[in-house]
Amino acid sequence: MRISIRAESMPASPIRKLVPYAEAAKKKGIKVYHLNIGQPDIPTPEIFFKYVKEKSESVIAYSHSAGTFELRHAFLNYYSSLGIKLDENEVIVTNGGSEAVIFAMASIADPDDEIVVIEPFYANYKGFASLLNIKLVPVRSEVTNGYRLPPKESFEEVITDKTKAILFSNPTNPTGVVLNREEINTLIQLAEEHDLFLISDEVYREFAFDGRASISLLEYYDSDRVIMTDSLSKRYSACGTRIGVLATRNKAVLDASLKFAQARLSPPTIAQLGAVGLLELGKDYTDKVKEKYQYRRDVVYEELSKIPGIVLTKPEGAFYVSVGLPVDDAESFVKWMLTDFNDLGETVMVAPLSGFYATEGSGKKEIRIAYVLEKEKLRRACELIRKGIEQYNNN
Ligand SMILES: Cc1ncc(COP(=O)(O)O)c(C=O)c1O
């Protein structure tokens, strides 16, 4: 007996694969600052727990496969506040933004079809594509150019008659780029000229800094080419609630996604109760959280700028920064920081960026930092990276 080729080719999460080394370091009594994963430290708002307590029923039943009526309406109100008018059949509540991306991909692409992604990209897109036997075709953004959207011609070089969509996150994980109007227009032009869907993953929508607005694609471009995926995980520091959403005006995609949703029965019922509360929090809440991340971004940017030889652009959104490091191999460096380095009993774990690329051998000198800790911890963690690089290069 053997397992499937699909299973064998499923990539391990680049973020989680070094975790055993962090665990070993902790067993030795070393304190590890975790900047490797996008798990915010901000407490989940109290209203989530209040709604769960007050609204739970005696049987935890399945909900409608597209999500409870109350939650879909809470999403509609939230989108309406962003200028996006949707009706209750145009949103499907999913198990996190992850399932929304899976439904979107599954609805529009057959096995061996292609979806274009801008690399580096959110690493789990690879796993989703692998599950569905879809090929991800990368177009490269460059660290030296602040990971801006590559020119239109670079997309045109890779688009074939098997290409079904362009998939991107905005604000972007892992680079912190917030796509500007011109970049969004390029994507729209490509979609129109090559008859493609645009899957716009907007889980970091509220986190755009320095007065920037991140463009929500359905608001900007009201077209049935757009499939927007979204999540409460990051916005409300509620990753474990597993509540996301797929929204589109495309009837065929909605019908298909609903069938996939019916096959997995329902999103988590208890979490949907609390999610209604989260969506009532409004802009005041998300603005405060954004300010906090912006402040942390400033701290990380200031500290990282002190590292000689670093390639760094000030991130504009989300809560990540990707940088080029003056080391021979970022993955060995990240591992070495956990196995061989400590400063006064402390070290740091970050994510090597190679796993965020589809092109073999790319991102070898880059890492991603998630600034999901308080400022003093962030300062110290950046100092550890600086000291670590010095020692690593002297070895
Ligand atoms: C760009 C992006 N999309 C989707 C997700 C999935 O999030 P969740 O499934 O928790 O909503 C993440 C999580 O890190 C992400 O960074």
Q: What CATH number does the domain containing 332 carry?
A: 3.90.1150.10
Last residue in a domain, options 255, 281, 307: 281
Closest C-alpha among 147, 238, 244 to residue 203: 244
Q: Are residues 142 and 99 in the same domain?
A: yes
Q: How far apart are CA 354 and CA 330, in angstroms?
A: 8
- Tens of each residue's pLDDT in the chain, 395 residues: 999 988 888 887 777 779 999 999 999 999 999 999 888 999 999 999 999 999 999 999 999 999 999 999 999 999 999 999 999 999 999 999 999 999 999 999 999 999 999 999 999 999 999 999 999 999 999 999 999 999 999 999 999 999 999 999 999 999 999 999 999 999 999 999 999 999 999 999 999 999 998 999 999 999 999 999 999 999 999 999 999 999 999 999 999 999 999 999 999 999 999 999 999 999 999 999 999 999 999 999 999 999 999 999 999 999 999 999 999 999 999 999 999 999 999 999 999 999 999 999 999 999 999 999 999 999 999 999 999 999 999 98
How many Å lie between the centroid of ligand 1 and the Cα of residue 94? 12
Residue 274, ligand 1, Cβ within 6 A: no
Residue 277, ligand 1, Cβ within 6 A: no
Q: Are residues 137 and 235 in the same domain?
A: yes
How many Å lie between the centroid of ligand 1 and the Cα of residue 98? 6
Q: Are residues 251 and 291 in the same domain?
A: no
Residue in the structure block whose two tokens are 């474990």: 240
Q: How many residues does the chain have?
A: 395
Lookup: tokens for 308: 């000689």
Which residues span the domain enclosing 172? 46-281
How many Å lie between the centroid of ligand 1 and the Cα of residue 395? 37
Q: How far apart are CA 304 and CA 381, in angstroms?
A: 10
How many Å lie between the centroid of ligand 1 and the Cα of residue 342? 31
Residue 233, ligand 1, Cβ within 6 A: yes
DSSP assigned state of 120 = S
Q: What CATH number does the domain containing 144 carry?
A: 3.40.640.10
Q: Are residues 190 and 98 in the same domain?
A: yes
The identity of residue 121, as a single letter, is F
Residue 203, ligand 1, Cβ within 6 A: yes
In tens, the pLDDT along 135-162 reads 999 999 999 999 999 999 999 999 999 9
Lookup: tokens for 9: 């080719």
φ, ψ dihedrals at 215, nearest 5°:
-80, 120
Q: Are residues 271 and 359 in the same domain?
A: no
